[in-house]
Copies of this chain bind each other. A is one copy, B any other.
Amino acid sequence: MKIGIVGLGLMGGSLGIALKGCGSSYHIIGLDHNPEHRTQALTLGLVDEVVSRQEEIIGCDVIFLAIPVDGIITTLQSLKGIKAECTVIDLGSTKAKIVSSVPAIIRKNFVAAHPMTGTEKFGPFAAVEKLYEEKVVVLCNLEESGEHQQKTALKLFRDIGMKIVFMRANEHDRHAAFISHMPHALSFSLANAVMRQEEPRSITALAGGGFRDMSRIAKSSPDMWEDVFRQNKINLLTAIDHFSEELEKCRRMVMEERWEALNVWMQDANKLHDIL
């Protein structure tokens, strides 16, 4: 089976490694508009071959779109030459705008997926062997995909060791705003607030595990996250408002020295322990 991967960064590169190592006989062709990324992907062994033009992957049995979410929408408009049985799978962090943008002529070919995994790093050198293993992938509006494409996508994600969750695209975007997109907004804000107020040497000296963990995703790709914030604008703003309400509660309890109430509010937060 010939599998094309569009985008050879963290997600696409790691997918290449996972598919090459999963025991099935897949031939992996990587496409990236950046010539350096193509060379790196080949040197690092992320894929079996690299190509530079979309026409060279259009004949594949499966095409993964591992690029920023605005690029996914653009690329979907130009995929009309694919084979009838082709399965096109996107790995974007938003789902509603992507699903609604799929041209009717390739709707059966298309499967909307969001693997809940990643790191703050990007580019081919960020690719790691077990990025997908044991992680959740959310498949959205799967009943709109063709039967063959549903089966193919399920097999591929199971091949690389993922746990599958089904969801409506709108529902996914609201959840993802709270659990992924808004936390990125917080991390970017934290990094900027601290760097504007503190000298680098104080940050290096004092940063413990808490700050390191909370600021890690502030190192994520601006181009990727600009697109995500644009596509999930309304849900993101709602999630930021809910967060701000909690932080304001905290600020007022501290300001008004309502320590017992603060302690109870922290105990509420501790309940996350029962979930994660």
Taking beta carbons and an 8 Å cutoff, which residues of A are in contact with B?
116-119, 135-136, 138, 165, 175-176, 178-180, 183-198, 200, 202-220, 222-223, 225-226, 229-230, 233, 236-237, 239-240, 242-247, 249-251, 254-255, 257, 259, 262-276
Roughly how many angstroms separate A225 CA and B239 CA in the complex, as a whole number? 25
Known contacts A197-B178, A229-B254: does B210 contact A217 (CB below 8 Å)?
yes
Report whether over half of chain A's contact residues are helix, strand or loop; otherwise say mixed: helix
Roughly how many angstroms separate A275 CA and B210 CA in the complex, as a whole number? 16
Contact among B116, B202, B219, B237 with A272 in the assembled complex (CB-CB below 8 Å): B219
The answer on a CB contact under 8 Å between A208 and B275 is no
Q: How many chain copies?
A: 2
Residues of chain B with a CB closer than 8 A to A202's CB? 175, 179
Residues of chain B with a CB closer than 8 A to A270's CB? 191, 218-220, 222
Residues of chain B with a CB closer than 8 A to A195's CB? 268-269, 271-272, 275
Q: How far is the CB of A116 from chain B (nearest CB, A)?
A: 4
The answer on a CB contact under 8 Å between B269 and A205 is no
Chain B CB count within 10 A is highest, among A230, A233, A255, A276, for A276
The answer on a CB contact under 8 Å between A193 and B210 is no
Roughly how many angstroms separate A274 CA and B191 CA in the complex, as a whole number? 12
Nearest 9 pairs of A and B residues by beta carbon:
A222-B266, A189-B246, A213-B213, A191-B269, A188-B269, A189-B247, A218-B269, A116-B208, A193-B243
